[in-house]
Chain A
């Protein structure tokens, strides 16, 4: 969908090029994150795709068409654009803001009104928001309106420049989740610039790691990047916690679970001892049907599980949670396991050993 062919940019008066010569292909329907230290040319690269910055060298094709042959404003009306501080027009209402590109494209009034309604609903915004001005909205609402405005004319390509850079971490995480949910429905081709490697790993299908001067060090899916960094620069950029980051890419539902040292409510002393021995632990859990009742120390049950006071498992993980969540649960609980449920139904446990085996692979 987007092809960069030996693209370079040298700013007038600059000693070294911002981007030397970059080849990059973004396929239809994928999210690609451009990451790298400041000065790596990631924003320059993004802005060359919609000609906010004119490339000095090379060609860029969007949907097969050389963008050099399309007038800048016309090109940009066909490409969604989202920036860090949203850039909503303060003198226009939310509805007018969203209608910006359709209005420039000369859509009919009724079509525009319908489209605004669709987008407000898609972004989970209150319909009453349409008549308000940007200054009356919260930061999260403004960011959602910014995305709605970029999507208004249904462009196949969306460019996002640090879209969640100016919001607090909790809201950022929620907006990232919303972007992923949105993408599952819309299948846009998205290029996103971020300085946050965790954000790139979380939202991108492929991550392009750029070095100073727009040198592409590695271009790979997050899992591959973390498993096999191409060189010392990439390794360094990914950080010392690569293993932990990999855990956040794996869903609990994707890995096998163990039954754990569990027994039935009426189990005798021998049965309890055997369950603990098998797992090499000094505690046991009690399961009744598909219900995990709780756990107790082996020393508290000299005559079997019957009548022993059980402690509850505080955290109940689900299949959609990641192994990073599981590890966190396991190392912060006294039993060193993470119990997994399907709704209320107990499925099994993950031990720290089992979690680490997924990374060592």
Chain B
């Protein structure tokens, strides 16, 4: 047996196309999970804020979903939904919900009551208040939640390699099966880099969306 180097750069250069496709798949799985997760979390969080009695069961359910081991969840779903993107997304979306619901609820509850009272007193309807006052003001907290959810999801996507997806996680799985270190290291490094880049991008988006939160001087 010929001793192979720890990282085989030649292999990487030969597989650039495949690497590019897997990164694309990874990003797509992450983006879909975050998008759908955000919509569901928004609906549930707003329902919980409107009807305070509904909030504890909502967060409890999201909490239970969050605690299920991802490996077990996918194994449980495959007989029902098969080796599909749907299976992957059900799992991925489930794991975003707790963080996203909490951050939306916390963000909106943290708004200065004087601001919402003034808004109501000047004739804002509840719907207008949500879009023009509450969500913009909760944005920094919500974005913090989205960043956390994004980093978590990027990591979790690698696990979906088990059901034939997995983005860069595919390399990790194949590397493990073939005892090929290069692929394991490549998949891990790419996953970490994707998480960091995505996080930085979200910070940038937050700064653009909340110019007001950075300007403070006189008191």
Taking Cβ atoms with an 8 Å cutoff, the residues of A that contact B are 50, 52, 72-78, 81, 83-93, 100-101, 104, 132-133, 135-139, 146, 149-150, 159
Contacts and interface: CB of A to CB of B under 8 A. Distances in A.
Interface string B87-122: 000000000000000000000000010111111111
Given A133-B215, A136-B218, A137-B218, A77 B114 contact: no
A149 B122 contact: yes
B219 interface: yes
Interface in B127-142: 128, 133, 136-137
B215 A89 contact: no
State which size class the interface on B falls in: 20 to 34
B118 A87 contact: yes
B210 interface: yes
Main secondary structure of the interface of B (DSSP, over half): helix
B137 A136 contact: no
A271 B22 CA distance: 112
Given A83-B114, A87-B112, A135 B122 contact: no
B125 interface: yes
Contacts of B133: 89
B212 interface: yes
Interface string B147-171: 0000000000000000000000000
Nearest to B133: A89
15 contacts: A72-B123, A81-B121, A83-B117, A87-B118, A88-B118, A89-B133, A89-B137, A90-B115, A90-B212, A91-B136, A92-B212, A93-B212, A104-B124, A133-B212, A135-B215
B177 interface: no
B128, B136, B212 pick with most chain A CB within 10 angstroms: B212
B216 interface: yes
B217 interface: yes
B202 to A, nearest CB: 19
Nearest to A141: B218
A272 B55 CA distance: 87
A81 B212 CA distance: 24
B118 A91 contact: no
Contact of A100 (B122, B210, B212, B219): B122
10 A-B pairs with the lowest CB-CB distances in the bound complex, closest first: A87-B118, A77-B123, A81-B121, A76-B123, A85-B114, A87-B114, A135-B216, A73-B123, A91-B212, A73-B125
B121 A77 contact: no
B137 to A, nearest CB: 6
A149 B115 CA distance: 13
A87 B119 contact: yes
Contacts of B217: 135-136
Contact of B218 (A100, A138, A146, A150): A138
Contacts of A84: 114
Contacts of B112: 85, 87, 90
Contact of A52 (B115, B120, B128, B137): B120
Given A91-B210, A136-B217, A137-B218, A101 B119 contact: no
A77, A89, A136, A139 pick with most chain B CB within 10 angstroms: A89
A338 B31 CA distance: 79
A88 B116 CA distance: 9
Contact of A136 (B116, B120, B124, B216): B216
Contacts of A92: 212
B115 A89 contact: yes
A91 B123 contact: no
A133 B216 CA distance: 8
A75 B121 CA distance: 10
B123 A83 contact: no
Contact of A77 (B122, B137, B215, B219): B122
